[in-house]
Amino acid sequence: MSDEKKCITCPGCDGARDPKYDEVDKVIAKYRNLEGALIMILHQTQEIFGYLPEEVQRYVAKGLNIPLADVYGVTTFYSYFSLTPRGKYRIAVCMGTACYVRGAGSLVSAFEKELAVKVGGTTPDRLFTLEVSRCIGACGLAPVLTVNEDVYGNIGPERVAGILAKYRDRQ
Amino acid sequence: MAYVRSHVLVCAGTGCTSSGCKAVEKAIEQEVSRLGLDSEVKIVETGCFGFCKIGPIVMIYPEGSFYCYVKPEDAAELVSEHLLKGRMVERLLYRDVQNPKPTAFFTDIGFYKKQKRVALANCGAIDAENIEEYIALDGYQALANALTQMTPAEVIHVIKQSGLRGRGGGGFSTGLKWEFAARSPGPIKYVVCNADEGDPGAFMDRSILEGDPHAIIEAMAIAGYAIGASQGYVYVRAEYPIAVNRLSIAIDQARQLGILGKGIFGTKFSFDLSIRLGAGAFVCGEETALIASIEGKRGMPKPRPPYPAVRGLWDKPTLINNVETFANIPQILRKGAEWFAAMGTEGSKGTKVFALAGNINNTGLVEVPMGITLREIIYDIGGGIPDKKAFKACQTGGPSGGCLPASLLDTPVDYDTLTAVGSMMGSGGLIVMDESACMVDVARFFLEFTQEESCGKCVPCREGTKRMLEILERITEGHGTPDDIDLLVELSATIKGASLCGLGNTAPNPVLATLRFFRAEFEAHVVDKKCPAGVCQALLSYSVIADKCKGCTLCKKVCPVDAISGTLKQVHIIDRAKCIKCGACVPKCPFKAIVR
Amino acid sequence: MERIKLTIDSTPVEVDPGSTVLDAAKKAGVHIPTLCYHPELKLEGSCRICVVEIEGMKNLAASCVYPAANGMVVRTNSEVVRKTRKSIVELLLANHPEDCLVCPRHGTCELQDLSHQLSVRKVRFRGEKRELALDESSIAVVRDPNKCILCGRCIRICEHTQKVSAIGLAGRGSRAVVTTPFNRGLAEGPCVACGQCIKVCPVAALRERDASEQVWKALSNSTLHTVVQVAPAVRAALGEEFGLRPGALVTEKMVSALRKLGFNRVFDTQFGADLTVVEEGHELLHRLERNENLPQISSCSPGWVKYAEHFFPEMLNLVSTCKSPQQMFGALVKTYYAEKFGIAARDIFHVAVMPCTAKKFEASREEMGRDGLQDVDAVITTRELAFMIKEAGIDFANLPDSEFDLPLGMSSGAGTIFGVTGGVTEAVLRSVYEIKTGKELEEVEFQAVRGFGGVREAQIPLNGMTLRVAIVNSLGQAEKILNKIKAGEASYHFIEIMGCLGGCIGGGGQPFSKDPDIKQKRASALYRQDHLKRVRKAHENPAIKELYRSFLGEPNGEKAHDLLHTHYHARPRY
């Protein structure tokens, strides 16, 4: 058991079991007998790790005694699950219809240019991940974007640099 | 209970939360206690008022004063003036676009005047996190009545009589659906609420869950009684944390009061609910895909029949309705099928909630009786198009619907008429576009969406939408040919006719509808290589009208790539080889001499 | 239940309740093309090739999944149906490599057939095509995701029939692919190399790892002494590749063809099977006597053995320690045969022709050799042999007959029936009964263990006790029965497990066939051969007796153990 529970998030550590796995154990124990719980477990596991690393998916598959192909199939099907680490700040530009017709497309281009990453990408310093989201239900403020929990409405491309600066300054 | 003189309702829907209502609420709270009004004034955090554009919204009862764009720094004035001295704060009252005079009362506002709130009745009126407020407005009365006074067959009869049709898109008769599920034999059945609102321009289900979660719980319990199910699931998007949270609180409160659980209201009927989170897949709005997702699998649709009513979740008979459909149920049972059927049209009874957005003055959630025209919604409720621009199209039905032109503005909004004109009701997104929208680009936008959201199971949808998108991209990039339009039509027929699920069957609609009403715009792209709306970058070329140019050099200065040449008081020229079509020069020209 | 009456292309037809429109069309003699549909697999309805028009329905219906109903009026050949089918094939082709002429499935490809049948003459979409890396990590199975049309048959057989789930769908929409978790390759996961996925793949997205080049090279190397063994199931299927009727038994032509290809010795794996029967029979008697490690589970199916190592490591003690016939044979070729004929083992190139892809993996196991040499140097499947025969320009159908070489070409009927589910059990029973009772069997054919049911059980009186046996084919059925045994819900003395449906005749290396009765036909060929054999019991094979007398000593003895038995080890599932 112990060998695959080794720490995977902190390179260079002594290889002791990552305590995050204890939390995953709790999640699995909680849902083990619940039918069809895989997606709920993956949600909570992603909360614990910030994303779903390969080793963790193996761990969940093993813990639930289900094929790894099933877990991998689910994590790659749903856009909510991420298989790669994401930045400290997740920028999600709403690309719902209302936001699109009010110029969300140029907002995405502006972020891509400023961050030099494509949608789905993370900056090399792991500070920002650029994503697009479907309607977040704030069409009145279109175009809308979120940075983690912060919501920005009525945003034009000219404000992109300023928004990024605000988060860079927090460092 | 202590007597409370005033209620301050702070909208805490997603729109207002996004515009900062939490800070406003906190500031009002502080002011209220600073002035020692705690015992007289009750602050209530409510669900969505619908008028998201002007948030944060605060309403004060008993007067019904409607304050908008409230900021935390307004709290002191609001509390001392309105709550202490009884004088309305005029500068914060709502002002109509056309009418600069402040409107004091909620009911006088144009946005609300033509609305008929049934599904949204409690949204914004009660504290969603307090079951007592729901009960105070006759909540759970319908369930109690159904359990103690009616047989399951009688419940279904009422729903059938009401003429209610599914609000999620398809518009299938709710009563019939219940009847099918009830008729399916078996001791174990399920009721599922589809709260996986996927239309990227609709958010009514979210607002209902946030503003009136008990209505959904009550409706699902009634459905459970009617079909013989004792377990329900609410499948809700993970992107809706507030809704999930309020619903969880509501379920807990209902359990505590014995409204969920064993032997509800002293009867033999037991029913419980659990929440399952989606994980970001539009296709999970499709019934069979949703079932797969609740089962913890990839959300891939299965061929029907068998329908979920016969074999659904874990192969058991399953009734699936969406949030808005359920939201109508308690009121139909309370007020009667006739009351409900009196609203709307012959084929489409009741009301429909629309998420009105896009190039329109009043964006937000509106609930209107079926049969109202698009024009009434867009102009009377929505306040028309901003910036004096011309209306071009409105999109209904989201990725499954289509864009309708100005000539169809007097189309009555009901299931059958919208389908007949080539769009559909869908879940209720209503996006208005003005003259600056390129219809080819909009079609491309929707195809990009469906292509991205296709589950990949069946060939027509997986491969077909990909090729359609490629063709549309080609057209918007200036490489389209007239044959491409024919190919689009042919592919559309294959995808529509042969796809496995509703997502595929309706995926070509945005293209077909735009081709039907805006074909000339497609032809301009492929024949003249022009984008009339000036959206498709590759098809734009900027030039200076020599007669209008005064040689002021402003355009030359702003050009980032030195594509403009000319000296003072000379006509300037744009080098098209250098021009990157950024458009920066156009607004700089004081003489409107630069054209696309 | 009342029959359902409907009309297909104006032909009235009656079907049983539960039938699909496709079933009804078959009954009406109407051909509807299919692609994702496979008679042995769960219905999927995903490719939409089989769409038909049903009166009163807005959209077309996939006939393979749509239930037939009373009064239904179906059109399978209307304008819209034909156009749609063509359009679907065109869409598939648009995302498929255009290398049919050099594709291993040229001529056996279902997509190619459909394109031909439906007169698809051009592909008008000039968009992106997938460009994904081949998975060549496995020694047995190659995956080419660029050829995959996502019909999902491979996944269904791997997941449902075999309960392995080495591959699955990942991603979605146009980026959906059939792949191994994290695209790590088949060699890393629990793939058991059974090749059932290849058998059901309609295109060349899954294929065996071709070893024929290696064999050609050895055949043209005059310093090598080439020895070939051929498994029983090969002779019951090889003829299909040359237009002979399914179920034709082509043993003698096959031997001729192998000689023409240039093999120095042509031997019969059935000899190895006879030897396996004797060893496994004695092992069973021994375990029965000591009442330990029961039930004894057969070990001749390498897909099953690998499955046990991945999925039931705690039950490996139950698996017979006997090597499979291929490996017993290989061990003898490099020792007994080499000694007897004075050829150095390293100068022998030993090829096995198998109906099976997992045999490629088995031959590569480190336990399967000595002194740095593998006992079997190359394994080719029935299909690869057919390609070689064609490539050599051999007119198979008109070949003269030829006999196997001696002594390792001599076999009993028991060895023959190893190639079909139930055959190992029947062969073992024939010998165990006589060894244990010392009496001659009155009836050598054990009809009770024959057939194609997933799990079959029989009870055989044996010297005062009742021997309880079970015969299992497919790994999904194996999982069920092993779980029952673990839970104490079932108990047997002997279980035969074959990894593939129908046993070796349905192996992953067999010719592609659309004949729904192909397994029955191949099986009856083997039973026919058994029936015609002079010697029908393994222990009565004179060459086997001679082998023990002059070389091995006692069955299960020290030398036999050294050469003919093996051990297993747990492999990771995750």
Whole-complex ipTM: 0.94
Q: What is the DSSP string of C199-265?
A: HH-SSTTEEE---HHHHHHHHT-TTSEEEEEE-HHHHTTGGGGGTPPTT---HHHHHHHHHHHT-SE
CA separation for the pair B493, C452 (Å, rounded):
44
Task: List chain A residues with CB under 8 Å of C172.
Answer: 76-77
Mutate to test the interface with B, among A64, A71, A97 (most CBs of B within 10 A): A97
Residue A2 has pLDDT above 50, yes or no: no
The values of phi and psi at residue C508, to 5°, are -70, -5
Judge whether C120 and B483 are in contact, CB under 8 Å.
no
Q: Which of B424, B453, B517 is nearest to B170 (CA)?
A: B424
What gap in Å lies between CA B262 and CA B271, rounded to an integer? Answer: 7
Kind of pairing between the strands at C73-75 and C51-54:
antiparallel
As a whole number, mean pLDDT of residues A37-60 equals 96
Distance from CA of A17 to the nearest CA of C (A): 18
Q: Walk me through the domains of chain A, giving residue ranges and CATH numbers.
A: 2-77 (no CATH), 89-169 (3.40.30.10)
Distance CA C188, CA C137 (A): 8
Pairing between β-strand B94-95 and β-strand C265-268 as defined by DSSP bridges = unpaired
- In the DSSP assignment, the letter for residue C191 is -
- The mean pLDDT value for C414-433 works out to 96
Mean pLDDT for each 10-residue chunk of chain B (596 residues)?
81 85 94 92 89 89 90 94 91 81 81 91 91 95 97 98 92 97 97 92 91 97 98 94 94 97 96 95 95 97 96 98 98 97 96 94 92 96 93 94 95 94 90 95 95 96 97 96 96 97 95 96 95 90 90 88 89 88 84 88
CA dist., res. C185 & res. C193, Å (int): 12
Q: Which chains does C contact via 3+ CB–CB distances below 8 A?
A: A, B
Mean pLDDT confidence for C219-233: 98
With a pLDDT cut of 70, the percent of chain C lying above it is 100
Q: Is B200 on the interface with A (CB under 8 A)?
A: yes
Assess whether C191 carries a catalytic annotation: no
Q: Is C513 a catalytic residue?
A: no
CA distance C201 to chain B (A): 16
Residue A151: how many other CB atoms lie within 10 Å: 20
Residue in B300, B466, B494 closest to C174 by CB = B466
What residue of B is the nearest CA neighbor of C84? Answer: B494
Whether C172 has its CB under 8 Å from any CB of chain A: the answer is: yes
Read off the pLDDT of residues C501-524 as tens digits, 9 standing for 90 and up.
999 999 999 999 999 999 999 999
Q: Which of A100, A149, A154 to mutate to test the interface with B (most CBs of B within 10 A)?
A: A100
Confidence of residue A15 (pLDDT cuts 50, 70, 90): low
Cβ neighbors of A89 (< 8 A, separation 6 or more) are: A127, A128, A129, A147, A148, A167
Q: What stretch(es) of chain B map to CATH 1.20.1440.230?
A: 439-526
For residue C547, what pLDDT is reported? 97
Dihedral, C171, C172, C175, C181 alpha carbons, nearest 10 = 20
Q: Is C174 within 8 Å of B462 when comparing Cβ atoms?
A: yes
Stretch C526-555: mean pLDDT, rounded? 96
Q: In whole angstroms, what is the distance from residue A155 CA to residue C144 CA?
A: 46
Looking at CATH, the fold of the domain delimited by B6-111 is given as Glutaredoxin (3.40.30)
Q: How far is Cα B579 from Cα B587, in angstroms, rounded to an integer?
A: 16
Q: In chain B, list all ranges with CATH 3.40.50.11540.
A: 131-341
Neighbours of B241 (CB within 10 A): 13
Q: Spell out which residues of chain C touch residue B298, defining contact as CB-CB under 8 Å.
A: 169, 172
For the sheet with C11-15, list strands across it. C11-15, C4-8, C73-75, C51-54, C61-62
**In this predicted model, which residue has the larger pLDDT, B558 or C360?**
C360
Residue B191: per-residue pLDDT: 98
The structure tokens listed for B46 are 């409510």
Q: Which residues of B touch A43 (CB under 8 A)?
A: 238, 277, 279
pLDDT at C126: 85
- Angle (deg, nearest 10), helices C325-332 and C269-290: 110
Give the per-residue pLDDT at B521. Answer: 96
Six-digit token string for A86: 């994401």
- B591 C-beta neighbours (distance < 10 Å), count: 15
Q: Which of A62, A67, A73 sits opposite C170 (nearest CB)?
A: A73
Q: What is the pLDDT of residue B239?
A: 85
* CB interface of A with C, residues 76-95, below 8 Å: 76-77
| Cα→Cα distances C287→B310, C459, C485, Å | 51, 18, 17
- State how far the Cα of C209 lies from the Cα of C113, in Å rounded to an integer: 24
Q: Of B596, B589, B538, B535, whose CA–CA distance to B559 is shortest?
A: B589
CATH number attached to the domain at B351-434: 3.10.20.600
Task: Give residue A49's pLDDT band: very low, low, confident or very high (50, 70, 90).
Answer: very high
- Whether B357 and B201 have beta carbons less than 8 Å apart is answered as yes
- Kindly list the distances between the CA atom of residue B62 and the CA atoms of B88, B105, B249, B546, in Å, as whole numbers in the listed order: 12, 11, 28, 64
Class of domain B439-526: mainly alpha
Tell me if residue C554 is catalytic.
no
Strands of C296-297's sheet, edge to edge?
Answer: C296-297, C494-498, C465-473, C455-462
B393: closest CA of chain A, how far (Å): 11
Q: Is residue C360 annotated as a catalytic residue, yes or no?
A: no
Fold of B541-596: Alpha-Beta Plaits (3.30.70)
Contact C574 A58 (CB under 8 A): yes
C84–B493 C-beta distance less than 8 A: yes
Under an 8 A CB cutoff, do A138 and B52 touch? Answer: yes
Give the SS3 label for residue C48: coil
Tell me the residues of chain B between 343 and 362 that have a Cβ less than 8 Å away from chain A.
355, 357-359
Residue showing tokens 């920028």: A91
Considering the domain delimited by B131-341, tell me its CATH architecture.
Answer: 3-Layer(aba) Sandwich (3.40)
Catalytic residue among C40, C53, C240, C280: C280
* Separation between Cα atoms, residue B319 and residue A33, nearest integer Å: 24
Domain ranges of chain C: 4-90, 141-208, 213-564
Contact yes or no for C125 and B457 at CB 8 A: no
| Helix axis angle, C302-311 to C475-486, nearest 10° | 50
What class is the C141-208 domain? alpha beta
Q: Which residues of chain B form CATH 3.30.70.20?
A: 541-596
Contact between chains at C65 and B303 (C-beta distance less than 8 A): yes
Are residues C45 and B500, on separate chains, in Cβ contact within 8 Å? Answer: yes
Return the residue of B nearest to A92 by Cα.
B239
Residues C439-466: pLDDT tens digits? 999 899 999 999 999 999 999 999 889 9
Predicted local confidence at residue B1, as pLDDT: 44
* In contact, B221 and B260? CB cutoff 8 Å: yes
Question: E strand or H helix at B364, and its extent?
Answer: strand B364-369
CATH 3.40.30.10, chain B: domain bounds = 6-111
Query: Which residue type, as a one-letter code, is found at position C526?
Result: L
Among B534-543, C61-70, C238-247, the minimum mean pLDDT is found in: B534-543
Per the listing, tokens 């300054």 go with: A169
Q: How confident is the model at residue A14 (pLDDT cuts 50, 70, 90)?
A: low
Task: Delimit the CATH 3.10.20.600 region(s) of chain B.
Answer: 351-434
Taking the CA of residue C182 and the nearest CA in chain A, the distance in Å comes to 7
**Hey, are the CB atoms on C171 and A77 less than 8 Å from each other?**
yes
- Is position C384 annotated as part of the catalytic site? no
Please name the member of B294, B357, B398 whose beta carbon is closest to the beta carbon of A139. B357
Determine the 3-state secondary structure of C71 from DSSP: coil
DSSP state of C365: S
**What mean pLDDT is predicted for residues C301-322?**
98
Q: Residues near B323 by Cβ (< 8 Å), separated by ≥ 6?
A: B167, B193, B194, B195, B197, B204, B205, B208, B209, B216
Q: Matching CATH topology for C141-208 and C213-564?
A: no
CA of A77 to nearest chain C CA: how many angstroms apart? 5
Active-site residue, C339 included: no
Mean pLDDT, rounded, of chain C: 97
Q: Say whether B201 and A96 touch across the interface (CB within 8 A).
A: yes
Chains that touch B (3 or more CB pairs under 8 A): A, C
Facing A43 at nearest CB: one of B240, B277, B357: B277
**pLDDT number for residue B109:** 84
Backbone angles phi, psi at C210, to 5 degrees: -70, 120
Partners of B491 on chain C (C-beta within 8 Å) are 87
Look at residue A12 in the predicted model and tell me its pLDDT.
Answer: 52
- CATH T-level topology, domain C213-564: Rossmann fold (3.40.50)
- Chain C residues inside the 8 Å CB shell of B451: 173-174
pLDDT in tens, B271-322: 999 999 999 999 999 999 999 999 999 999 999 999 999 999 999 999 999 9
| Cβ-nearest to A76 among C170, C180, C573 | C170
Q: How far is B540 from chain C (nearest CA, A)?
A: 24
Question: C4-90 maps to which CATH number?
Answer: 3.10.20.740
CA C147 to chain B, closest CA, distance in angstroms equals: 14
